[in-house]
Amino acid sequence: MRLGILTISDSVPVGKREDLSGPKIKEILGPFCSEVMYKVCTDDIEEIVTNVEELKAKVDLLVTNGGTGLMPRDNTVEALASLSHQRIEPLERAISAAMVLACGPLAALATPVVLRYNNKYIVALPGKTEEVAAAVETVIKPYFLHHIFFEHVDIKEIAREYKE
C-alpha cells in the first residue's frame, strides 16, 4: 500500500510551526506501507486541490491533516468538495466519534472527510495531533488495513512464509 500525507497549514510551510500531525500519521500507518510520500501546502483552495490531485495519482491512501475546522482559512473541506468522488459518511462519523471520545466534545468542531475513487481513498483530518492520532489509530488503521492492505497482499504467500 502506498500512503500519501498532505499537511495543510499556512504556518508550517513558512517555518512558524512544526508539523507534528503528519509525522504521527506516518508513525502509525507507515510500517504497513511500501512507500510514504509527504508534502506540505498552504490553506489556499487551489493549492490544496493541486496537491491532492498530484498525490492521489500516486498513492492508495491519502491522509490530509489541517484545515478542517471553523477558522476563516480552514479550506480543506471546501477544496475536497470540488472533487467528484464518493463520500463515505459512515467513516466520517466514526472518525468524528473517535476524536470526541479521545479528546473531548470540542473535537466535534472539526469536519473529517472521507472520499473514495477507483478503490483509492482520501481522508481529511484536523491539524491537532491528538485528534489525528485518535482517528488514525482507532478508525483509519483498522479499516484501511482490512480494505486496502489485504487487497495488495498475497495472504497465501504470507502464510507460507509464516510456517517456514
Q: pLDDT by residue (tens digit) across 109-118?
A: 999 999 999 8
Burial of 77 (0-12, 13-18, 19+ CB in 10 A): middle
Q: Encode pLDDT of 31-72 as tens digits.
A: 999 999 999 999 999 999 999 999 999 999 999 999 888 887
Grid cell of 62 as nine digits: 491519502
Domains of the chain: 2-163 (3.40.980.10)
